[in-house]
Amino acid sequence: KILILDFGSQVTQLIARRVREAHVYCEVHPCDVGDDWVRSFAADGRLKGVILSGSHASLWEDETLRAPRAVFELGIPVLGICFGMYAIAEALGGKVDSSQKREFGYAEVRARGHTRLLDGIQDYVTAEGHGMLHVWMSHGDKVTEMPAGFKLMASTPSCPIAGMADDERRIYGVQFHPEVTHTSQGRAILERFVLGICQAQPDWIMRDHIEEAVQAIRRQVGDEEVILGLSGGVDSSVAAALIHRAIGDQLTCVFVDHGLLRLNEGDMVMDMFAGKLHAKVVRVDASELFLGQLAGVSDPEAKRKIIGREFVEVFKAEAAKIKQTHSRQVAWLAQGTIYPDVIESGGAKSKKAVTIKSHHNVGGLPEQLGLKLLEPLRDLFKDEVRELGVALGLPPEMVYRHPFPGPGLGVRILGEVKKEYADLLRRADAIFIEELRNFEDPQTGKSWYDQTSQAFTVFLPVKSVGVMGDGRTYDYVVALRAVQTSDFMTADWAELPYALLKKVSSRIINEVRGINRVTYDVSSKPPATIEWE
Ligand code: XMP
């Protein structure tokens, strides 16, 4: 196993993900776990290496951000990334300075010497015979003096020590981020470390994750009851299947129809979970309650908070009911929170994470919920969640459904939410999705639904003039949104074929009375987000 110590970088989980991609088991823990903890973690002899993450802080800002000494006393390989490299330098007698020039983003690094970590790994070789790497850098400080025993491994003109190595002790530091895809050889470098230098066994697969997760859930929950808010989206579905695998009927899924679901969604979800999975599912029709609470509210954050709050209220009420009919107490609220949700809600350990949107399943929860949170997908990225779902035996068409946000159409109706708007949006959206499934990309043989990561329709509460038959119309506008992404943290708008857009537009305008104009959103994330609110 590999231990990743987190100094609070937003991309720490990406390191974990890369290690998992190399089929090696790893765990992420905060950097201040302490020496005794590190020693006991290593006591079973399975710990093969430690990776120290980056951080958003500067080494000078926070004295608690130091690597536990025990990390260097175990005699196992250590890799420090960015801040992690400063932590190594600091711990072993090197020097770290606030650098004059901040480097953000793309950089070219010259790989030096013959270190075990970078030997033979390069993007190209210069005329002088230097191996060069395309990397992603993000830092302000830099190492100015290497600790004794280290040799120079990489450099850039503005950062003469961009990498350092002690092959003897197998301790390495890199200033750049091998875990992000912009560092083209990043995967090779991390694989070299984990498999080559640490000699960790590449025997970890998703099925193992299921087994580990099942055990962890059983340990956490004991014989207490769990309720889970099933939205029908990929995340809550996979969480439900995983928890159901772990504790069977101790799990009750609560499917809340908040009146902001897609067309026929409710029946489909019930059919899938109660019918096929044989899970306990309670269906609650709370649409009037939600729409009532949302009346007159147009601020996106306020809407999210209301929906989050009402969810919790409905859960509490359901929990109370279940408690009356069960002998055991409902003590847990399970949610399909995945890693990008945690990051974007500023809920990660990073002290500097910024709240971009409060996802209702993380940020909107009141402190005194009265239920403990069970979030078994918290460390996973979307594509890993899907892989997990398939490994759990869920049907691929369910697992490869586009994600649907907890607040549902509530964040796809701009401004105030009204039932009339939701009804129009549902019908328009169903047409868009149906045509995405119908249209195949001849180049790949895949439908455009499968070729996009998320696609939906947004309701704009503005009216525009149109002409239909020989009458004038004055109706609402919708925007179509389709994006391609692998991690939902960045996304490109999809270049849908004109024929598809044309068909969708004409069907929506002809079939959905009340909408007379269809637009297509050509914004990428960043700077836009995927949802409009
Ligand atoms: P954004 O709009 O932040 O969306 O680029 C990224 C992904 O997150 C989904 N999303 C949500 N999911 N509750 C959820 O469960 C929310 O409040 C929420 N807001 C956005 C969005 O659909 C996309 O997949």
- Indicate whether 231 and 168 sit together in one domain: no
Residue 262 belongs to domain spanning? 206-399
- Indicate whether 340 and 284 sit together in one domain: yes
* Residue 404 placed within a domain: no
Report residues whose beta carbon is within 6 angstroms of any ligand 1 atom.
Answer: 304, 344, 357, 359-361, 403, 405-407, 411, 454, 488, 525, 529-531
- Indicate whether 105 and 219 sit together in one domain: no
DSSP state of 277: I
Q: Does residue 336 sit in helix, strand or coil? A: coil
Task: Write out the binding residues for ATP.
Answer: 231-237
- C-alpha distance from residue 83 to each of 53, 107, 139 (Å): 7, 17, 8
**What's the domain count of the chain?**
3
Residue 161, class by beta-carbon neighbours within 10 Å (0-12 exposed, 13-18 middle, 19+ buried)?
Answer: buried
Question: Which is nearest to 304 in space by CA: 413, 209, 394, 200?
Answer: 413
Q: What is the pLDDT of residue 475?
A: 98
* Residue 528 placed within a domain: no
Tell which atom from ligand 1 comes closest to the C-alpha of 532: 2
Cis before 526 (ω within 30): yes
Alpha-carbon gap, residue 214 to 251, rounded angstroms = 13
Tell which atom from ligand 1 comes closest to the C-alpha of 336: 15
Alpha-carbon gap, residue 133 to 498, rounded angstroms = 40
210: CATH: 3.40.50.620
- Indicate whether 440 and 472 sit together in one domain: yes
Alpha-carbon gap, residue 26 to 420, rounded angstroms = 49
Give the residue, out of 488, 524, 532, 533, with the most ligand 1 atoms within 8 A of its beta carbon, to mutate for a pocket test. Answer: 488
Question: Which is nearest to 335 in space by CA: 367, 311, 301, 302?
Answer: 311
Protein residue closest via CA to atom 11 of ligand 1:
405
Q: What is the pLDDT of residue 313?
A: 86
Q: Is 280 left (phi over 0), alpha (psi -120 to 50) or beta?
A: beta
Report, in this order, helix, strand and coil percent for the chain, each rounded to 5.
Answer: 35, 25, 40
* Residue 383 placed within a domain: yes
- Indicate whether 240 and 306 sit together in one domain: yes
Which tokens go with 406? 């907890």
The full DSSP string for 446-476 is EEHHHHSSEEEEEEEEEEEEEEETTEEEEEE
Q: How far is the CA of 84 from the centre of ligand 1 (A)?
A: 31
In contact, 364 and 358? CB cutoff 8 Å: yes
Give just the sign of the alpha carbon dihedral 66, 68, 74, 80: negative
- Indicate whether 214 and 156 sit together in one domain: no
- Indicate whether 44 and 185 sit together in one domain: yes
Tell me how long the chain is: 533
Catalytic site residues? 82, 177, 179
Pairing mode, if any, of strands 151-156 and 171-174? unpaired
Q: How far is the CA of 43 from the centre of ligand 1 (A)?
A: 41
Q: What is the pLDDT of residue 100?
A: 60
Can you give the pLDDT of all 533 residues of the chain as single tens digits?
Answer: 999 999 988 788 899 999 999 999 999 999 999 999 999 999 999 999 999 999 877 766 777 789 999 999 999 999 999 999 999 999 999 999 876 666 678 889 999 868 999 999 999 999 988 899 999 987 678 899 999 999 999 999 888 999 999 999 999 999 999 999 889 999 999 999 999 999 999 998 888 889 999 999 999 999 999 989 888 888 999 999 999 999 999 999 989 899 999 999 999 889 889 988 899 999 999 999 999 999 999 999 999 999 988 988 887 787 778 767 776 778 898 989 888 777 766 554 433 334 444 444 444 443 445 788 899 998 888 889 999 999 998 888 888 889 888 899 999 999 999 999 999 999 999 999 999 999 999 999 999 999 999 999 999 999 999 998 889 999 999 999 999 998 788 899 999 999 999 999 999 999 999 999 999 999 999 999 999 99
ipTM above 0.90, yes or no: yes
User: Residue 241 carries which side chain, given as an amino acid letter?
Assistant: A
User: Residue 513 carries which side chain, given as an amino acid letter?
Assistant: R
The full DSSP string for 48-87 is -EEEE---SS-TTT-TT----THHHHS-S-EEEETHHHHH
* Residue 413 placed within a domain: no
Bridge partners (DSSP) listed for residue 172 = 79, 165
- Indicate whether 311 and 368 sit together in one domain: yes
pLDDT digits (tens, 9 = 90+) for 300-322: 999 999 998 898 888 778 777 87
Angle at 380 between CA 184 and CA 367, to 5 degrees: 130
pLDDT digits (tens, 9 = 90+) for 222-266: 999 998 988 888 899 999 999 999 999 999 998 989 999 999 999
Tell which atom from ligand 1 comes closest to the C-alpha of 531: 2
Cβ contacts of 149 within 8 Å, gap of 6 or more: 92, 166, 168, 169
Q: What is the widest separation between alpha-carbon atoms in the chain?
A: 85
Q: How far is the CA of 488 from the centre of ligand 1 (A)?
A: 8
- Indicate whether 424 and 324 sit together in one domain: no
Alpha-carbon gap, residue 398 to 376, rounded angstroms = 19
Protein residue closest via CA to atom 22 of ligand 1:
405
* Residue 407 placed within a domain: no
* Residue 532 placed within a domain: no
The full DSSP string for 127-195 is TT--EEEEEEEEEEEEEEEPPTT-EEEEEETTEEEEEEEETTTTEEEESS-TTSTTSTTHHHHHHIIII
Report the predicted TM-score, pTM, of the whole model to 2 decimal places.
0.71
Q: Is 253 left (phi over 0), alpha (psi -120 to 50) or beta?
A: beta
Residue 290, class by beta-carbon neighbours within 10 Å (0-12 exposed, 13-18 middle, 19+ buried)?
Answer: buried
- Indicate whether 181 and 237 sit together in one domain: no
Task: Write out the binding residues.
Answer: 231-237
* Residue 411 placed within a domain: no
- Indicate whether 171 and 147 sit together in one domain: yes
- Indicate whether 304 and 165 sit together in one domain: no
Q: How far is the CA of 359 from the centre of ligand 1 (A)?
A: 7
- Strands (DSSP E) found in 251-296: 251-257, 280-285
* Residue 145 placed within a domain: yes
